[in-house]
């Protein structure tokens, strides 16, 4: 057979296609089995045992839920749910997902309930079943403690106010902004909201009064300038029509805690403290947060290494598809690349973690969903790297090998790929670095990688500048090490 003949007419090529097809099916099946198996292992097992519930919470809502210096999730909500569980004879598995992701996890039945300083509203009652109220909240306005110009709502005219997504403070600000002539800007967490005012882009914040009081006690540089407005009540929630037994247990346990005085002890623990005496200098923060940051970095590295390893396999398979002479193989490769390069990684993470399990009726762990998301996304870019590397090799190499009677697959494996790999190495390392940085997006599904770990720490101490500087330095060191490794490996291959 001469070099210009179709691959479809070559028995060896046909055999290669069949083997590659079988391997692809096996690989995709293995990914689904791993995802399903890990998801089931991490799924709520309350129905099986009747004594353990998976509870979602926010990650950055001190004093209701936050991470202490030892990496433990503490706060009013955390103490309440654990004490109620102890009182009622069940156990809880806390999943710190962030507020928005926590609500989606409940609706997707990925978790059994959510406790996250969640206001009980008529709109939410259409979607969730709520417990008896466990905290009566309220809203206050705060400005920088150096601001002497804003002392009332009337002083906000023509100015901008920072609020947090889905909070009572945001709802109150929206209800009065037309009357007092100010605009609002939304943020995902309290720390970012406070930073917005520190930069001067906004002049005030509206926040639940316990959060404000806790932040001021921690030395965040703000002061309240209005009285507490009457607010809604906080409640524990489950998906509509599900986990009624858990809701009953929560209500019974809450009643017992109030009768015993334990409820008041929990509130005093977090709302009765004075200002923090922690060392919030750069080196003080580095020393106190280093172990937790290393745990976050460990998760970042695990996500990156595992995902890139899988992406390399996917990229090689679909890259070969992309340069195949078979139209249907090229179509498969192109479709895969277009889908995962044409949609944001954030959307892919939500779809894989929330959408697929909800549609198919099973649970998947956040780690499994994160690895699958990163692998499929990076694999699409690896596919193009492989395609470009193969096409960079002179076509005469393939023609010469085929004219000697060497099959397509052996030629690709022994002649083309060894030459292509040399040109692919820098792009591989670059994709490794990109994937490492992309792990930060997975914080939206509750994975505590390095960036999310930093957000959680900032929610406790409100030291944004120093913490982001420390995290930036850690990323810089890791990425520079990878870059140097890439340069050294490239030099060795060229020799």
Q: Are both 7-41+282-494 and 46-131+237-269 of the same fold?
A: no
User: Which pLDDT does position 182 carry in this prediction?
Assistant: 93
* 278 pLDDT above the threshold of 50: yes
* 202 pLDDT above the threshold of 50: yes
Q: What pairing do the DSSP bridges indicate for beta strands 204-208 and 160-164?
A: parallel
Q: Name the residue with higher pLDDT: 29 or 284.
A: 284
- Put simply, whether the predicted model's pTM sits higher than 0.85 gets the answer no
Secondary structure of the chain: what % helix, strand, coil (to 5)?
Answer: 65, 10, 25
pLDDT category at 96 given cuts 50, 70, 90 is confident
Q: Where are the domains of the chain?
A: 7-41+282-494, 46-131+237-269, 135-233
**Distance between CA 114 and CA 1 in Å, rounded?**
66
CATH number 1.10.3720.10 given to 7-41+282-494? yes
DSSP conformation class of 96: E
Q: Name the residue with higher pLDDT: 41 or 298.
A: 298
**Distance between CA 229 and CA 225 in Å, rounded?**
12
pLDDT category at 493 given cuts 50, 70, 90 is low
Three-class HEC string of 197-228: HHCCCCCEEEEEHHHHHHHHHCCCCEEECCCC
* 245 pLDDT above the threshold of 50: yes
**Distance between CA 294 and CA 296 in Å, rounded?**
5
CATH assignment, 46-131+237-269:
3.40.190.10
pLDDT category at 176 given cuts 50, 70, 90 is very high
What Cα–Cα distance (Å) separates residue 40 from each residue in 87, 111, 391? 28, 12, 43
204 token code pair: 């005030």
> What element of type H or E holds 139?
strand 135-144
- Contact between 16 and 406 under an 8 Å Cβ cutoff? The reply is no
Outline where 229-281 has alpha helix (H): 244-260, 262-271
What angle, rounded to 10 degrees, do the helices at 244-260 and 76-88 form?
100
User: Which pLDDT does position 50 carry in this prediction?
Assistant: 52
Lowest mean pLDDT, pick from 157-166, 211-220, 378-387, 409-418: 409-418
- Contact between 243 and 251 under an 8 Å Cβ cutoff? The reply is no
The residues facing 309 across adjacent strands are none
- Residue range 135-233 forms a domain whose CATH class is alpha beta
């Amino acid at each position: 057979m001469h070099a210009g003949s179709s691959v479809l007419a070559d028995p060896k090529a046909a055999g290669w296609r069949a083997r590659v097809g079988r391997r692809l099916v096996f690989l995709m099946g293995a990914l689904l089995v791993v995802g399903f198996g890990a998801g089931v292992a991490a799924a709520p097992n309350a129905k099986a045992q009747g004594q353990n519930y998976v509870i979602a919470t926010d990650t950055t809502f001190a004093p209701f839920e936050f991470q202490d210096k030892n990496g433990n999730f503490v706060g009013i909500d955390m103490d309440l749910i654990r004490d109620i569980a102890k009182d009622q004879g069940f156990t809880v598995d806390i999943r710190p997902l962030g507020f928005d992701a926590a609500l989606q996890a409940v609706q997707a039945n990925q978790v059994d309930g959510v406790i996250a300083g969640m206001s009980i509203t008529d709109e939410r009652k259409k979607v969730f079943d709520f417990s008896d109220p466990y905290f009566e909240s309220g809203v206050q306005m705060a400005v920088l403690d150096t601001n002497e110009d804003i002392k009332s709502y009337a002083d906000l005219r023509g100015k901008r106010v920072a609020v947090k997504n889905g909070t009572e403070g945001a709802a109150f600000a929206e209800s009065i902004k037309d009357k007092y002539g100010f605009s609002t800007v939304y943020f995902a967490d309290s720390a970012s909201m406070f930073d917005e005012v520190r930069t001067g882009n906004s002049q005030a914040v509206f926040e639940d009064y316990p959060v404000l009081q806790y932040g001021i006690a921690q030395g965040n540089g703000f002061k309240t300038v209005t009285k507490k407005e009457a607010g809604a009540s906080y409640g524990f929630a489950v998906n509509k029509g599900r986990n009624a037994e858990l809701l009953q247990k929560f209500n019974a346990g809450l009643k017992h805690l109030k009768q015993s005085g334990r409820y008041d002890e929990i509130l005093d623990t977090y709302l009765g403290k004075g200002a923090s005496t922690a060392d919030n200098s750069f080196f003080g923060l580095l020393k106190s947060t280093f172990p937790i940051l290393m745990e976050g970095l460990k998760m970042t590295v695990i996500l990156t290494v595992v995902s890139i390893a899988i992406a390399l396999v996917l990229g090689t398979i679909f890259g070969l598809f992309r340069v195949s002479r078979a139209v249907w193989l090229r179509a498969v490769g192109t479709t895969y690349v277009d889908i995962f390069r044409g949609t944001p990684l954030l959307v892919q993470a939500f779809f894989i973690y929330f959408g697929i399990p909800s549609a198919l009726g099973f649970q998947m762990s956040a780690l499994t969903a994160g690895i699958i998301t990163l692998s499929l996304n990076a694999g699409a870019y690896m596919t193009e790297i492989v395609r470009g590397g193969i096409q960079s090799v002179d076509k005469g190499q393939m023609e010469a090998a085929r004219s000697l009677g060497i099959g397509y697959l052996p030629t690709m494996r022994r002649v083309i790929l060894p030459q292509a790999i040399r040109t692919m190495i820098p792009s591989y390392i670059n994709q490794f670095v990109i994937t490492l940085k992309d792990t930060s997006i997975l914080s939206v599904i509750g994975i505590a990688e390095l960036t999310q770990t930093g957000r959680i720490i900032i929610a406790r101490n409100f030291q944004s500048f120093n913490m982001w500087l420390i995290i930036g330095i850690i990323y810089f060191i890791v990425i520079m090490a990878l870059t140097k490794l890439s340069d050294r490996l490239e030099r060795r291959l060229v020799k």
